[in-house]
Amino acid sequence: MKITEKKIKGLFEIQLSPFEDHRGFFMRTYDSGIFIQKGLNREWVQENHSSSNEKGTVRGLHFLNMPHTDAKLIRCIRGEIYDVVVDIRKNSPTYGEWVSVILSEKKKNSLFIPRGFAHGFCTLTNQCDIIYKHDNFYNKDFDSGILWNDNDLNIDWPINNPILSERDTNLMKFNEFTSKFGGLEV
């Protein structure tokens, strides 16, 4: 397992190391000892599975407001996604900056996202399945999000006409989030 910090502090890509032979492969997807050494250990209290049927599906940019914000460990177990996180931590030197990572079943990688980030992804293939571990329980009353294609964020999405939910079409813009919340205190 190789853990590499991305350009935004606290965000890590994890390259898994499968053992492969003629039968297939076996790999460790999480190891608390390694995560403790890297300062990433969390008590994962919830795991979700997201499935998207069509290439070009965009989900996000979602987050939970305080006090229910959560860290995530995300892995694409089928297909390939363009995963995006936006730093919305109050007083962060990288506030409003974003990072993208290709997560895929072939690459066998995952992404550790600390508390205080908005998260979304675009499917790059048909039939994508994503597993999310969370260190806090979902609370519908604190569920929120930022518009995926907000010009202020200028995210370089690999698609122009995505498949979106009604909810994701009507999320707030980044400047509205900033005016309303000023960022998340984590």
Q: Determine which helix (DSSP H) or strand (DSSP E) holds 177, and give its type and residue range.
A: helix 174-181
Give the distance from CA 169 to its chain's centroid: 18
Residues near 66 by beta carbon (within 8 Å), at least 6 away in sequence? 142, 184, 185
Catalytic residue ranges: 62, 132
List the one residue out of 42, 63, 173 whose CA is nearest residue 112.
Answer: 42
Q: Which two tokens stand for residue 137?
A: 């329980």
Helix (H, G, I), strand (E, B) or coil at 131: strand
